[in-house]
Amino acid sequence: MASLIETKVLSFGANGDGLVLIEDKPAYVPETVPGDTLKLRYDGSRHVEVIDLLSPSPDRVAPVCSLFGTCGGCAMQTTARPALLDWKIGLVRHALNRAGFETLPRFESMQVPAESRRRIDLAFQRQPGKIILGLHRRHGNVVDMTECHVIDPTLLALLDPLREVLGGLGAVTGGGDLQINLYSSGPDLLIATDSALVPTDRVKLAAFGREHKIPRISWRSRRRPNEGYEIVAQQGPVFHAFGAVKLTPPPGGFLQATNQSETAIADAVLAALPALNRRDPIVELFAGFGTLTVPLAQKGRVLAYEGHFEAIAALKSGAIGQRIETTHRDLTRQPLIAKEFAKARVIVLDPPHAGALSQMDHIARSDVEDIIYVSCNPQALQKDAALLAKAGYEVLSVSVIDQFLWSTEVEAVISFTKSKKRLSRRQT
């Protein structure tokens, strides 16, 4: 028998849903904000239904997008942006506390503006007479992205022409995936379909690239992703600039979500470096194609390691004349061991979402005094940082970057040190 309950949202859960307690048990309510007072229908299970919002939280705002609640891209548009940033700062603080760090410095933070995201992964689906192109709803089908307040307007303007060209491709027999990166040279497309491209598909994609000034369009098989990609149309050079250095990323290459966050992350890493001369070795792990490598090379000699061959090859070919040495190495299967860090002045790492895994144990065993860790996952940060806490490191600085607006994702740059001299200047 269902019953009606009045209760207040206490906090956010990990997925951005509001946490309430019913009979002392947690339940999660989407699109609610801590401080909301709700009337709920409760049927004895963990599922609850909102009957009424009795009293809104001071941090509640109206969603900016008409697709909110349907599109799976944004989970937290009902939360005021300052409150959202505060919550993400709390996630990073909690992760470091749980890792064993009780004394923490004052946190720096920044939040990107709306309509600034330059990297997006979309899905598309052929339906009678049209193509649906957008993001998946929670546990559901693709929702057509007719509106978006997150992505750069340049990318949003491409979606209608993309629907048209995808609808004319023989390879699009059902669904597929589309990744777009907005590099310095312009949009870069990687299309994945179940069926192979037919000759007329290549002609259509080349014409599309010319018309919309897209330097490169690539394709891969969605059924056989390990076979790599094929460049099917290229109208001009593809590059991304880090200052005066231009690198050519591979199709589907990793790019920080926004230009503003790329700058903020690099600035935070550089600010966290110890005093260096230009010959001091900086060991950079999970280097990608150079987002941090190029800025770091202005401060010291960078030894960059990356497991993705095409990314490290792009960095190597574009960094000629810089103080950068590149090594292709899968750090998950073949981590650098402690003695390989013997000459390092500082270690900088930007691991994938799962964290540094076995590599972190070897870092913690090394004699390197200063570690700078770029995190995209508080849970992985907690696990990796716990090894550093046990090894005697302390947290010197923390910068939190909210580059995935209205989502639960958060980026952070944390510097760890054993230097008593540096810790004496820490601001708490």
**Is 306 assigned to a binding site?**
yes
Residue 52 in contact with residue 63, Cβ under 8 Å? no
**Is 256 assigned to a binding site?**
yes
Q: Does the CA dihedral 61-65-66-69 come out positive or negative?
A: negative
Q: Say if residue 309 carries a ligand binding annotation.
A: no
Neighbouring C-beta atoms of residue 33, cutoff 10 Å: 24
Of 6, 144, 150, nearest to 75 by C-alpha is 150
Return the closest-CA partner of residue 359 out of 386, 382, 330.
330
Amino acid, single-letter form, for residue 326: T
Q: Which helix (H) or strand (E) holds 143?
A: strand 142-144
Beta strands 37-42 and 48-55 are antiparallel
Contact 191, 218 (CB under 8 A): yes
Report the chain's C-alpha Rg in angstroms: 23
Q: Please say if 148 is a catalytic residue.
A: no
Max intra-chain CA distance, the chain: 73
- The active-site residue, picked from 65, 74, 148, 376, is 376
- The first and second tokens of residue 386, run together, are 């716990």
Point out the annotated binding site: 256, 286, 306, 350
Residues labelled catalytic: 376
Point out the annotated binding site for S-adenosyl-L-methionine: 256, 286, 306, 350
